[in-house]
Chains A and B, each alone.
Chain A
Amino acid sequence: MGEQRISTPLGENEVKALRSGDRVFISGEIYTARDMAHKRLVEMLDSGQDIPLDLKGSIVYYVGPTPAPPGRVIGSAGPTTAGRMDPYTPRILAQGVRGLIGKGRRSPEVKEALVRYGAVYLAAMGGAGALLSRHITGARAVLFEDLGPEAVYLLQVKEFPVVVVNDIYGNDLYEDGVLQYRLDDRSNFLIF
């Protein structure tokens, strides 16, 4: 398991080099989007509109930060549960997004779409919002500003720490990592 530094936008070769289990530090610009923004983005695509964001090679971070206190660009900013974005994710990946940051397991459809479109799913540390906030040096709302904290923001990040969960080869750290340390057979306790 390696350690890598990457910067946005991501090209095909950079994504190819990322393996499930790698620790990665991201610098550059990343978009934020959570439930409402995803819904609206997909609605725009459905009605044939272009998304006014530079999604080619981009990274999307699922986050709903606390309000920025005076003197800070953002508040506490850890990942939210990624599974809630699953129904929209394949459509977003089709737009050329190369990286997704969140926490928690993804659906089979999303994992398949990651492989198909050559994108990775990265886990940020859930519940480490204070630490992650220090790696965010700028924040600017760029779309759906009426949604307030749920708007799409463009964040400047510096050495933002994540771990590769799903790589483009179909590996899943949430499955492989756990199996490596599991001491019981599942059948021992799954009765309900």
Chain B
Amino acid sequence: MREVPVQRITEEVARLSQEANCDLPEGVEKALREAAEREESPVGREVLRSLAENALIARQDRMPICQDTGFSVVFVEVGQDVHLVGGNVYDAVNEGVRQGYREGFLRKSILDHPWQGKNTGDNTPAIVHLDIVPGDRVRLRFMPKGGGSENKSRLAMLRPADGLEGARRFVIETVEKAGPDACPPFIVGVGIGGTFDKVAFLAKKALLRPIGTFNSRPEVAEFERELLVAVNRLGLGPEGLGGRTTALWVAVEVSPRHIASFPVAVNIQCHAARVKEAVI
């Protein structure tokens, strides 16, 4: 058993929350620049260049890429040979969020109750997805998820008869409806299969996959390619002002399904696709 003090998790979450918000993943920035080369719309090209420049400025000025520094979604993978000591792991994550959002001058956007809510003042609680995996490491991935794009995400329990074609239409329609409000170009996370709760989680998890990486199953990768082409035919373009670059990437995760269900979930991620990772 390897002992890991939960304080280490707090430290890393505090650091990752700031880094994630100010330092856009290299792959996203590269995708924005490449899209600017290809984009046919003059306004679209300008927007894409500015978004890449925004990433640069954010890094230089240590200024958040976007003012919506999000709900703190934290994926924690704990190796089964790890013994966490010194406190509760959820408290440790929340303490990291508290520190990171204060020290990093990040916006606090969480209300403590859906309709009687007042701001919790420190962006807690985080959404923590805890998973036990083989090994003796703790892997943390921090995703600040903005409201604008989360609000445009959707889930459908299709009929098995709707099948893959139904899923395709649902994804394209969701992207179309998301429109300019969700800050395109998007990364589209799709889940297919499982139960109502599982499919939403799959869609969220798909967003962790770096741009340019296909699903390892060939038939799913094929579907990803097809969807990317299809959503980019919508004409929405950068910031929804018209153009060819509506999405930078589509990532699909699948899971076994019940004979009676065909669940599909689409989690829209904006171009401020912020994720940072640390391994303890």
Chain A residues within 8 Å of B, Cβ to Cβ: 1, 21, 23, 63-69, 72, 75-78, 80-81, 83, 103-105, 123, 125-131, 133-134, 149, 161, 163, 165, 173-174, 176-184, 186, 189-192
Contact = CB atoms under 8 A, between A and B. Distances in A.
B236 A178 contact: yes
A190 B173 CA distance: 6
A123 B180 CA distance: 10
Nearest to A3: B46
Interface in B29-54: 40-43, 46-47, 50-51, 53-54
Contacts of A191: 166, 169, 173
B239 A125 contact: yes
Given A174-B180, A178-B236, A1 B242 contact: no
A21 B67 contact: no
B248 to A, nearest CB: 13
A68 B105 contact: yes
A173 B242 contact: yes
A177 B41 contact: yes
Contacts of B180: 103-105, 123, 126, 174
B43 to A, nearest CB: 6
Contacts of A134: 57, 61
Nearest to A128: B54
A126 B239 contact: yes
Give the residue among B57, B233, B239 with the most A Cβ atoms within 10 A: B239
A134 to B, nearest CB: 6
A46 to B, nearest CB: 23
Given A64-B107, A127-B270, A181-B40, A189 B65 contact: no
A104 B179 contact: yes
Contacts of A68: 105
Contact of B64 (A75, A103, A179): A75
Contacts of B176: 186, 189-190
A178 B241 CA distance: 6
Given A130-B54, A192-B169, A180 B242 contact: yes
Nearest to B238: A125
Given A68-B105, A174-B240, A177-B240, 10 more contacts: A1-B42, A66-B64, A69-B62, A103-B183, A104-B148, A177-B43, A178-B237, A180-B235, A189-B173, A192-B156
A122 B270 CA distance: 20
A35 to B, nearest CB: 12
Nearest to A182: B235
A188 to B, nearest CB: 8
Nearest to A66: B107
Contact of B235 (A1, A105, A129, A181): A181
Contacts, number: 180
Contact of A192 (B50, B69, B170, B179): B170
B111 interface: no
B239 A123 contact: yes
B200 interface: no
Nearest to A65: B67
B53 A21 contact: no
B66 interface: yes
A3 to B, nearest CB: 10
Contacts of A190: 169, 173, 176
Contacts of B156: 192
Nearest to A69: B105
A72 B67 CA distance: 15
B67 A103 contact: no
Nearest to A68: B105
Contact of A75 (B41, B42, B67, B272): B67
Contact of B43 (A1, A66, A183): A1
A177 B234 contact: no
Contact of A127 (B65, B173, B233): B65
B242 A127 contact: no
B50 A131 contact: yes
6 contacts: A66-B64, A66-B106, A67-B106, A76-B69, A129-B67, A131-B53
A130 B243 contact: no
A33 to B, nearest CB: 15
B269 to A, nearest CB: 11
Contacts of A189: 168-169, 172-173, 176, 230
Most buried by B among A63, A123, A125, A161: A125
